[in-house]
Amino acid sequence: MEIYLYIALFAPLAGSLFSALFGASPKTSVTGMVASGLLFVSFMSSVVLLNYVMAGHTVHVEMMTWIAAGDFYVPFGFVVDQVSVVMMMVVSVVSTIVHIYSIGYMDHDKGFNRFFSYLSAFVFSMMILVMSDNFLGLFIGWEGVGLCSWLLIGFWYHKESATWAANEAFIMNRIADLAMLVGIFMIYWNIGSLQYDVVFAEISNLSIPIVTWIGIFLFVGAMGKSAQFPLHTWLADAMEGPTPVSALIHAATMVTAGVYLVVRANPIYGLIPEVGVAIASLGAFVAMFAATMALVNRDMKRIVAYSTLSQLGYMFVAAGLGAYWVALFHLMAHAFFKALLFLGAGNVMHAMHDELDPFKMGGLKKSMKVTWILMTLASVALAGIYPLAGFFSKDLILEVAFVEQHYVLYTVLLLTAGLTAFYSFRLVALIFHGNERHLKYGIHPHEAYTFMLYAMAPLAVLAVIAGMVFKTPYYEMVTQLLPAIEYHVHNHTTFWIMTIGTQLFVIAAIAFAYKKYAKAVRVDVKVESGFFYQLLYNQYYIPKIYDEVFTKPYRELSKVAWKQIDLKIVDATVDGIANVIYRTGEKTHTMQNGNLSSMLRWMVVGLVVLLVLAIAFTVGYNAVTMRAM
């Protein structure tokens, strides 16, 4: 089995390196093919491993030593167990599809080869992240995906906004990474190892405050990758990257790494339920918070990004409440339909010549029928309508909150479910229904390449069946590792009321969205100039606040540090000392005026000074000795 593990892990790297060879050459579709092919290989190996794990085995290899100094020892170790195999499947499926899709999407781009190199490198990093058997290995992947995310967001580096967003994403993630590092330090100094098995076996021996701190620091790390408030702003800006990137990195895989971390570290969080509740609360808050921003946004990709953010919130609710398997399940389901949604959005963008404002689109269902169906399907799944994937995973989280008696969280999540349905279908309605508003911009949309649509098909299938078909085998598999808690509302009446009520609420929200946006779009000036609309539209002014509170002061402070402190104080002191010495020389060397008389006088002065001192000393000395007598 080890060989499959290595294939699953290194096939993407091989693809990346292969593409990198052609990095500076003109586009060759070979790179896309090879990279996609290798990913498929990785996917197949993951399937083999999945089978193996389903049979109740795990694979654990230690490839080689990485860092060893003193007592510190961290190897490159990889583990394929019930949790990581799920992640591997998600990553390899989505990334294979996105790769194939990208062959079409990036067809006309100069940086085609480079793109595949980065994309495969990302998959490799992600694989390391999920497969590592220790925290530091996870950190490699963690930073690796950060790097690839930076490269891919800033892929169109000639665009100022893209590079800015790339840097923002990287730096913001770095802030969280610091917390994660501190968490790792704490684990090491308290346990003496970073291997998952050792740590999880020993963690219960530590005092609760320490575990709490470890949990908090690790979670702060997770917050950065998963773009939780207040480190969320980068995700929306990251939409500057090519759309396949958004689908793969900023929807399906990388952003869920935080959830994965919490799930993976469940023995730690299991000891500190208070922190769990805090995580859940933050998750619920973010779910709502992001959904509200999505309501009014006018950028197709940003809407989907906020939706992702909101769904990540759901996952954290589940993870925080101890329903790790639920969180992981939603992670998986979400990956499928959200990737689908993004890829659909990519088709639309292509058709619309990179126009992103849905208000400038409309009626696209005529020319882009397949895309319309796929995106509607994805939106339905996202909204959580039975029997699609979202229903099984998302409603389960509502049930978890309910069962765990966190009714506030439950209410928030329920409301958010409505909001989700609304903004999803607002988007669908605006793009595919109504007038063809784009015609006046002279855009004549066309459907994407057929193979791209075929590539998306598996995702559509997964979005439909993932819930129904996978739930039971998934549950059986992962609960071998994760706490097996079934979340059932025991009272049947309540259960049915809840389920049907939620469904109805969601359908009502969809209907409202269609009603409002499917026909003609009326701009309600009064609403749009209102405070709340503006608040939401400006993302609660948070980016602006960050700019004012952090970015600008940092820049100013840096200038001060350089121009005022470094040059005018620190350096000037050094030069000042030197100058004082030199000036003293310049001032006093005139004592040597060359006149013999004054030279003689200096000598006599010297003598007189000596004599005076001698006499003064003698007088003092005598006085002292007299007194001594």
Q: In the window 124-183, what residues touch another protein (CB under 8 A)? A: 136, 139-140, 143-144, 147, 150, 154, 157-158, 160, 163-164, 166-167, 170-171, 174-175, 177-178, 181-182
CB under 8 A: which stretch of 9-17, 345-353, 416-424, 580-588 binds another protein?
A: 580-588
CA distance 380 to 561: 54
CB under 8 A: which stretch of 45-53, 365-373, 474-482, 594-602 binds another protein?
A: 594-602
552 binds another protein (CB under 8 A): no
590 binds another protein (CB under 8 A): yes
CB under 8 A: which stretch of 100-108, 353-361, 521-529, 577-585 binds another protein?
A: 577-585
Nearer CB in complex with another protein: 202/436: 202
CA distance 564 to 426: 53
* 243 touches 349 (CB < 8 A): yes
CB of 456 to another protein, least distance (A): 31
561 binds another protein (CB under 8 A): yes
CA distance 426 to 429: 5
The single residue among 33, 44, 52, 66 that binds another protein, judged by CB under 8 A, is 66
Task: Give the total of residues touching another protein (CB under 8 A).
Answer: 88
The single residue among 3, 68, 484, 508 that binds another protein, judged by CB under 8 A, is 68
366 binds another protein (CB under 8 A): no
Please state whether beta strands 72-80 and 59-69 pair in parallel, antiparallel, or not at all (unpaired). Answer: antiparallel
Nearer CB in complex with another protein: 157/496: 157
* 56 touches 62 (CB < 8 A): no
In a 13 Å sphere around the CA of 542, the CA atoms on its Cβ side amount to 14
Nearer CB in complex with another protein: 525/574: 574
DSSP state letter for 75:
E
615 binds another protein (CB under 8 A): yes
101 binds another protein (CB under 8 A): no
Residue 73: strand pairing partners: 68
592 binds another protein (CB under 8 A): yes
CB of 112 to another protein, least distance (A): 14
CB of 20 to another protein, least distance (A): 9
CB of 55 to another protein, least distance (A): 33
624 binds another protein (CB under 8 A): no
CB of 277 to another protein, least distance (A): 25
189 binds another protein (CB under 8 A): yes
Q: In the numeric block, which tokens belong to residue 170? A: 């990287």
- Pinpoint the alpha helices (H) of 352-449: 369-383, 389-403, 407-432
Q: In the numeric block, which tokens belong to residue 102? A: 């990208």
DSSP for 219-266, please give it: HHHHHHHTT-TTS-HHHHHGGGS-HHHHHIIIIISGGGHHHHHHHHTH
The helix or strand, by DSSP H or E, that contains position 499, with its residue range, turns out to be: helix 492-517
Nearer CB in complex with another protein: 154/320: 154
CB of 275 to another protein, least distance (A): 18
Nearer CB in complex with another protein: 494/551: 551
CA distance 10 to 277: 38
582 binds another protein (CB under 8 A): yes
Nearer CB in complex with another protein: 159/488: 159
65 binds another protein (CB under 8 A): yes
The single residue among 70, 486, 490, 526 that binds another protein, judged by CB under 8 A, is 70
The type of residue at 338 is K
Q: Cis before residue 230, ω within 30 degrees of 0?
A: yes
CA distance 345 to 97: 15
Find the binding residues for another protein in span 20-59 (CB under 8 A): 23-24
* 41 touches 123 (CB < 8 A): no
Nearer CB in complex with another protein: 76/329: 76
DSSP state letter for 447:
P
* 334 touches 396 (CB < 8 A): no
Kindly tell me the sign of the dihedral angle through the C-alpha atoms of 264, 268, 271, 274.
negative
CB of 167 to another protein, least distance (A): 4
Kindly tell me the sign of the dihedral angle through the C-alpha atoms of 218, 222, 225, 231.
negative
Nearer CB in complex with another protein: 522/589: 589
CB under 8 A: which stretch of 387-395, 432-440, 447-455, 610-618 binds another protein?
A: 610-618
623 binds another protein (CB under 8 A): no
595 binds another protein (CB under 8 A): yes
CA distance 519 to 133: 54
Crossing angle of helices 300-320 and 257-264, rounded to 10°: 10
* 226 touches 258 (CB < 8 A): yes
Site string for another protein, 228-257 (x = CB under 8 A): ------------------------------
Residue with tokens 């049947």: 492
CA distance 199 to 192: 8
Crossing angle of helices 369-383 and 450-478, rounded to 10°: 20
- Pinpoint the alpha helices (H) of 248-368: 257-264, 266-271, 273-296, 300-320, 324-351
Q: Is 487 strand, coil or helix?
A: coil
604 binds another protein (CB under 8 A): yes
The single residue among 26, 71, 405, 440 that binds another protein, judged by CB under 8 A, is 71
559 binds another protein (CB under 8 A): yes
622 binds another protein (CB under 8 A): yes
The single residue among 586, 626, 627, 628 that binds another protein, judged by CB under 8 A, is 586
72 binds another protein (CB under 8 A): yes
Find the binding residues for another protein in span 192-231 (CB under 8 A): none
Nearer CB in complex with another protein: 182/521: 182
Q: Is 449 strand, coil or helix?
A: coil
